[in-house]
Amino acid sequence: MREDRLNSDIIYNGTNSPELTSTTDVSNLAHLHSGSAVRRKSQSDNRETVKSVSIGKVRLSILEKLLVFLCGVAVFVGLFFILQGRIKTSNVSYQIDLTNKQIQSISQENQDLNSEVQTLSNDSRLAKLAEKYGFQIDESRIKNILK
């Protein structure tokens, strides 16, 4: 709001076209059209002088204050939900990382166990064990099943 007084005048010469009386009148013209000017008719000639008047502070009504308050509350509630969503996303991301680490650990354990199965089911190892304990291996009765 403009609270200062404007000292320059805008003079109308009866044809409703303003004559500017100073270099600051262009800003006053815009101020004039906003409805904050007072018109006076001069006695000596047929011209109308418009002087600017200062406007005091505008007070907000109760409804406008309530609307501003509710908008503020809505902003804070929205920020709360956004923050809560980001926290949940962070927690889920952490759980995913833990699960991926467990999957890698179990995959490594499975590879180690498969390697051990290959070592234990080696034909030469079985032949040595059979000979050590006094068994004979009949090759015609052995079937290899590949997975």
Q: Is residue 77 part of a domain?
A: no
Q: Is residue 25 part of a domain?
A: yes
pLDDT at 51: 65
pLDDT at 25: 47
pLDDT at 107: 97
Contacts for 13 with CB less than 8 Å, ≥ 6 apart: 19, 46, 47
Per-residue pLDDT of the chain (147 residues; tens, 9 = 90+): 444 444 444 554 455 545 444 444 444 444 444 444 455 555 555 566 666 666 778 888 999 999 999 999 999 999 999 999 999 999 999 999 999 999 999 999 999 999 998 888 887 888 888 888 988 877 777 777 776
pLDDT at 80: 97
For the chain, strand residue ranges (E) read: 10-12, 18-20, 37-41, 48-52
Instruction: Tell me 60's DSSP state.
Output: P
The count of structural domains within the chain is 1
Q: Is residue 108 part of a domain?
A: no
DSSP-based three-state secondary structure for 147: coil
Token representation of residue 118: 């290959």
Q: Is residue 2 part of a domain?
A: no
Residue 21 contacts residue 11 (beta carbons within 8 Å): yes
pLDDT at 55: 72
Q: Is residue 37 part of a domain?
A: yes
Q: Is residue 31 part of a domain?
A: yes
The radius of gyration of the chain from alpha carbons, rounded to an integer in Å, stands at 47
Token representation of residue 94: 């952490």
Burial letters for 93-132: b for 16+ Cβ neighbours within 10 Å, e otherwise?
eeeeeeeeeeeeeeeeeeeeeeeeeeeeeeeeeeeeeeee
Q: Which residues span the domain enclosing 39?
A: 10-52
